[in-house]
């Protein structure tokens, strides 16, 4: 039995269709649009409009993966147990924010290596021994999941395989704040936060990105490629089932996509 329901399957195909149709329409309306890179244009002038549109499609598709992740999460966890892009006013003891900042600073200055379980323990201990002064800050959390069976909660930050150098420490801080906020908000230690990399760009080799691993130890606090999607779908076949949706769409729409993009190539 597929891990992705028929209803979720249809929603995912709809997201794919929106992106593909958008770029086929752009190919029709502005066939001469190019990357504006003079060196690429000099080398690949007749092909650059095609490359430019395909690159745009890939980027837009990447932006849609968070919506697809939400669909899969709702399918597996239930609508009432999934929150996406939640803007939260966080009020925590000052010493908790100081603990988080200390962890981030040590990682940024390469004084320590990331140890998710030690970091989590330090933050929860700071919450258990709060200072008298509090701070208020607003954060946006990508994805919050609740397991209806045991009440466990998970906070996830989703990125592509090569986030920029400012995104990673920012994500680290938000996830550590989410741990502290979850502990105080829900009065439970059944919490985890994960940095989710939705595909491994060097697969089948192990995912390695120094920018990421400075802040996230591969042995805790990070989910990559199939581990992320299978966690999200609560099924070891979710990643393969999702991949099959994309593959089948590509096969079914191959001629339509080719006919749309072929007009961008000047083969005279």
Query: Which tens digits make up the pLDDT trace of 173-198?
Result: 999 999 999 999 998 899 999 999 99
**CA separation for the pair 167, 180 (Å, rounded):** 20
**Residue 111 clears pLDDT 80, i.e. is over it:** no
Question: Tokens 């968070």 map to which residue?
Answer: 66
Tell how far CA 219 is from the center of its chain: 18
The verdict on 43 and 92 lying in the same domain is: no
pLDDT per position as a tens digit, 45-67: 888 888 888 888 888 988 899 99
Q: Which two tokens stand for residue 174?
A: 């938000």
Q: Which domain holds residue 3?
A: 1-64+245-268
The answer as to whether 95 is a domain residue is: yes
Tell how far CA 96 is from the center of its chain: 26
The verdict on 85 and 56 lying in the same domain is: no
Cα–Cα distances in angstroms (integers) from residue 68 to residues 145, 152, 159, 161, in the given order: 15, 22, 13, 17
The verdict on 46 and 149 lying in the same domain is: no
The verdict on 173 and 49 lying in the same domain is: no
Q: How many CA atoms does the CB half-sphere of 70 hold within 13 Å?
A: 18
**Residue 266 clears pLDDT 80, i.e. is over it:** no
What does pTM read for this prediction? 0.92
The answer as to whether 7 is a domain residue is: yes
Q: In the predicted model, what is the mean pLDDT of the chain?
A: 92
Query: Between 251 and 1, where is the model more confident?
Result: 251
Question: What pLDDT is attached to residue 268?
Answer: 64
The answer as to whether 70 is a domain residue is: no
The verdict on 39 and 151 lying in the same domain is: no
The stretch 33-42 carries a mean pLDDT of 84
The answer as to whether 71 is a domain residue is: no
The stretch 110-138 carries a mean pLDDT of 92
The verdict on 216 and 186 lying in the same domain is: yes
The verdict on 256 and 142 lying in the same domain is: no
The verdict on 27 and 129 lying in the same domain is: no
Question: What pLDDT is attached to residue 120?
Answer: 95
pLDDT per position as a tens digit, 133-189: 999 999 999 999 999 999 899 999 999 999 988 899 999 999 999 999 999 999 889
Number of domains forming the structure of the chain: 2
The stretch 23-48 carries a mean pLDDT of 85
**CA separation for the pair 39, 81 (Å, rounded):** 50
Residue 63's Cβ-count burial label (10 Å; 0-12, 13-18, 19+) is exposed
The verdict on 56 and 134 lying in the same domain is: no
The answer as to whether 6 is a domain residue is: yes
Query: Between 33 and 154, where is the model more confident?
Result: 154
Report the greatest alpha carbon distance in the chain: 75
């Amino acid at each position: 039995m597929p891990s992705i329901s028929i209803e979720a399957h249809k929603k995912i195909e709809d997201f794919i269709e929106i992106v593909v149709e958008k770029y086929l329409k752009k190919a029709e309306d502005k066939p001469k649009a190019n990357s504006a890179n003079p060196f690429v244009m000099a080398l690949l002038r007749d092909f650059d409009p095609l490359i430019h549109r395909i690159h745009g499609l890939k980027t837009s598709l990447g932006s849609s993966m968070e919506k697809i992740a939400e669909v899969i999460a709702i399918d597996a966890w239930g609508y009432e147990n999934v929150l996406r892009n939640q803007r939260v006013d966080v009020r925590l003891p000052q010493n908790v924010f100081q603990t988080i900042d200390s962890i981030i600073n040590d990682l940024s200055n390469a004084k320590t290596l990331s140890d998710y379980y030690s970091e989590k323990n330090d933050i929860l201990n700071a919450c258990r021994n709060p200072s008298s002064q509090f701070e208020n800050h607003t954060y946006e959390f990508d994805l919050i999941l609740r397991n209806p069976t045991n009440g466990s909660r998970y906070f996830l930050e989703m990125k592509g395989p090569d986030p920029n150098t400012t995104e990673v420490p920012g994500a680290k801080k938000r996830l550590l704040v989410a741990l502290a906020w979850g502990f105080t908000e829900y009065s439970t230690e059944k919490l985890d936060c994960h940095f989710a990399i939705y595909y491994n760009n060097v697969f089948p080799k192990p995912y390695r990105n120094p920018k990421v691993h400075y802040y996230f130890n591969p042995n805790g606090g990070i989910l990559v490629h199939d581990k992320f999607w299978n966690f999200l779908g609560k099924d070891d076949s979710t990643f393969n089932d999702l991949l099959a949706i994309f593959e089948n769409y590509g096969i079914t729409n191959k001629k339509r996509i080719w006919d749309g993009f072929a007009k961008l190539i000047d083969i005279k």
